[in-house]
Amino acid sequence: MLDAALLITILASALCGAFVLRRNASSPIHRQYALMMFALTGWSTCMFMAVGLEHPGFALFNWPDLGAAFASMIIAGLVHFSHLYPTPGSAAAYQGPLAYMVGLVLAVFSVMGAYWDPTVVVDGSTVHAGYRYKPLFALFVAWVVGGASYAAWRLRRKLAMASSPDQRIELKVALIGIIVATAIATTTAVALPLLTGDYALLPWAPVAVLIGIGAGTGYGVVRLDLVPISRAIERFRVISVTRKIILSGLLMAALVMSTLLPFTGRLVGIEGSAAWTKYFMYTLLSVILITLPTLLYMIRIVSTPLGELTEAAWSLSRGNVARRVTINSDDEMGVLASAFNIMAANLERDINELKRLNVAIADEKNLTQNVLDSINLAIVVVDMEGHVLEWNRTMAQWWKIPREDALAKRIYDDLLPQVRNTLITDDLFEGLREDGGPVRHYNRPFERDGVLYYLNLTLVALRNQEGERYGTMCIMEDVTEMRSIEAELIQSAKLASVGVLASGIVHEVNNPLASISSLLQFMREEEQEPERRGSFQTMIDQINRVATTLQGVVDFARQRPAEKRPLDLARLVAETAKFISFDKRFNGIRIREHYAPGLPRVHADSDKIQQVLMNLMFNAADAMPDGGDLTLGVSAADDGRSVVLEVADSGMGIHDDVIEKIFDPFFTTKPTGRGTGLGLSVCHGIIRAHGGSIHVLSQPGEGTTFRVVLPVQSADEGDGTAPPETPGGAESEDVLSWGLKNKGASES
C-alpha cells in the first residue's frame, strides 16, 4: 500500500510539474510550482528507496538525508511561491532568492548528516530502527514549520486584499492545502517520531504534501491560464472538456478494475488476502501508469487547444478583435483555429472601418455644428414629433437655453411653450404640407420679457434619401434692429423735408419782419419822448429775436458737407444752448454755462459737434423730467493740447452695468418708441473721428456727467487762440470741478 502510494506520488508530482511548466514556461509562477513538484518527486523517490529496501532499518542509508534536503528546497520554493502568487509582491525580487539560499544551506547540512544519526536496536528477532537527533535538527524543524507558516501568512494577507472572486477562491484553496499538508507532514515526520519513536507514518509525508500543497497550489496556477475559460463555463453552465476527459478516464479505469481484476486474478491463480492485496495494488498502479499519461495526452491534443479557442472566443466577445490563436495542427482543431483567425481578421477590418467612418461622421458633424454656430441666425431642427435634433449657438443665446439642455426635448412642451399659437402658428406649416417649402414669413411680431421683437421665419422640410420627411428646420432672424434703422431713416427723411419747408417759410417771414423792423427803427429815431423810444426799441429787439430763432431753424435743417475748420467750441456751445432752450423739454430746467477765458480753437466740423451737443443736452433733459440743473462747461485740459467739454445734469444717474453698454448701437434705457439706441453710439463715432474721446461719469441718484475731449488746432492749421468775445469768457468757474464734485464715479 505504501509502496503504491509513493510510486503514485512520484509519478503524479513529476507529471504535474512537467504539465504546468509546459503550459507557460515563461511565467515565474509556473516555473516556481514546477520546481516544488520536482523537489517533491525527489523527496518521494528517497522515501520509496528507503522503504523499499529489504532491511527494515532504512535509516541506515543516506536516503532520509537526501529526502530532508529535498524537503528543505520544497519549503524554499513554497516561500518564494507565496511572494509570486497570484501577483508578484514588492519583495519577491530579493526574498525568493534569499529563501532558496537558506533552503540550500539546510539541504547541504542534511546531506552531510548534520540532523541525526541512524540507530538500529536488535531485540531477538525484532529490529527497531530510529534516529538520534542532533542540535541542528531543531533548525531544520524551525525552517519547515516557520517557512510553511510564513507562506500561509503571506497568502492570507493577499486573500484579505483580493477583489476578484476567482482570486479569492484560488487563494483559499492554496491556503487550506498548505495548512493541511504542513499539519500532516509535521505530525508524521517530526512530532510522532520525536515524541513516541514511531516512524511508521513518516513515509506518508510526501503523499500529504502532494495532496495539500501540490493539489492546492496547482489548482490556482492552472486557473491563472483558464480564468477566462472558467468564467465562460460558469456563465453558460457547462462542463469543461478537461473534466469530461478525466471523468471518462476514471470511469473507464473503474470499469476495468471492477470487471477484469477478479477474472484475471483467478486466471493466474491468486489465492489469499495478502496476495490479492498485493495483486490489487500493482494492478492499480499499472492502470494509473497507463491511464494518466493517456489522459494527459488527450488533454494536450484536445482540451488545451480547445481551451485556447474558448479563451480567444471569450476575449473576442469582449471586444479584443486583435486576438488570434496559435494552433498549427493538421486536424480539426487546426482547421477550426484557421477559421477563427480568418473570422477575427475580417471582424477587426470591419470594426476598424466602422471606427474610421464614425470619426469621419463625427468630424462632419463638428464641421456642420461649427458652421451653424457661426451663423448669426437662430436655427433649430426638430423631428416629426417635435423633439429637438439641432440647436445652434444663436438659438441658445437668444432663448437662454444651452444646447445640451435642449437636445432631445420637445420644443413646444419642454422648451418654448410660449411660441405656440403666437410666433409659430398652424398657418406657417401649410406650405410645408403642400410642397415641402421653404416657407418664409416676414416681420412676425413676438413679445418676450415685455419687449416687442420682430422676426423673419423660414421653415424647411427635411427629407431622407428615400424622400420621406423626417423633420423640420426653422430659421429665425431678428430684424428688430433693422426696423429701428428703417424708422430712423424715415424720420431723417421727414426732418430733411421739414428743413426744406422751414427754409421757405423763414424766407417768406423774414421779408415782412425786415420791413417792420425798418419802420420801427425809423419811428424810434423820429420819436422825441424817451418812454415811447424805449417801447420802439423793445419791439425791435423782439423782432430781432424772432429773426434769430428762424435763422437757427434754417441753419439746423440745412445739409452741408462735413468740413473741419478752426472752431470756437465755447461759442458753439453757447449758441446751441440758446437755440434748444426753446424746446418744451427744457421747461423747468436751469441751464448754467461756464466757459474758461482764452480757450484755444479746435479743428472740427461745427455741424457734427453741434449734433453731439444737442444729443447730450436732450438726453440730460430726458433724465430730469421734473426739472433740475443742466450745466455746460468748456475748459482747457491741463496739458494744454486739448479742450474739455462737459455736459452735466442733476438727474437720476446711471448704474454701472448700464454704463458698460451705453455706447453700444441700439442700446437704450428709454421705453419702446422713445429712443432708437443710436444717439450715443453716433456721438461716440463722431468724437473718435475727430481724434477725441468721450466718457461718462455717473452714480445712481447723483446725476450724470458726459466729458468730451477734443484736440486743439495745430500750429500749421492757423491761429489757435479764440477771440476775446468768447461767451462767458470773463467767468472763471471750472465746470470740471462742478461736474465731478462728491461723485466718486469711475470713468467708463
With a cut of 90, say whether residue 631 has pLDDT above it.
yes
Specify whether the CB–CB gap between 662 and 603 falls below 8 A: no
The H helix count followed by the E strand count for the chain is: 23, 14
Cα torsion 112, 113, 114, 116 to 10°: value is 170
Average pLDDT over residues 332-349: 89
Question: pTM of the predicted model, to two decimals?
Answer: 0.40
Domain borders along the chain are 2-236, 239-320, 332-374, 375-478, 484-554, 562-740
Angle between helices 273-298 and 2-23 (to 10 degrees): 0
**pLDDT digits over 388-445, tens only?**
989 999 888 888 889 888 888 888 778 887 776 667 766 666 666 666 668 888 888 8
Phi, psi of 534 (to 5 degrees): -65, -40
Rounded CA separation 708/610 (Å)? 12
pLDDT above 90: residue 138: no
Instruction: State the average pLDDT over residues 15-25.
Output: 76
Work out the percent of the chain whose per-residue pLDDT is above 70. Answer: 76
In this structure, the strands spanning 693-698 and 126-133 are unpaired
For helices 530-557 and 569-580, angle between their N-to-C axes, nearest 10 degrees: 100
Tell me which of 243 and 346 has the higher pLDDT.
Answer: 346
Residues 6+ apart with CB under 8 A from 678: 484, 485, 488, 665, 666
- Torsion angle, alpha carbons of 558, 562, 563, 568, to 10: 70
For residue 336, the model assigns a pLDDT of 87
Q: Find cell 468757474 and name the residue.
A: 733
Average pLDDT over residues 87-103: 78
pLDDT, tens digit (0-9, with 9 covering 90-100), for 177-228: 888 888 888 888 777 777 777 777 777 888 888 887 877 777 767 665 544 4
Asked if the model's pLDDT at residue 738 lies above 50, the reply is no
Average pLDDT, the chain: 77
Mean pLDDT, residues 595-608 taken together: 89
Rounded-to-integer distance, Cα 305 and Cα 315, Å:
15
Residue 247: per-residue pLDDT: 66
Q: Which CATH superfamily hosts domain 2-236?
A: Rhodopsin 7-helix transmembrane proteins (1.20.1070.10)
The correct CATH number of 484-554 out of 1.25.40, 1.10.150, 1.10.287, 3.40.50 is 1.10.287
Spell out the CATH class of 562-740.
alpha beta
> CATH code for 375-478?
3.30.450.20
Res. 124: pLDDT tops 80: no
- Asked if residues 223 and 170 have their Cβ atoms less than 8 Å apart, the reply is yes
Helix (H) or strand (E) holding 245: helix 241-267
The answer to whether the beta carbons of residues 445 and 350 sit under 8 Å apart is: no
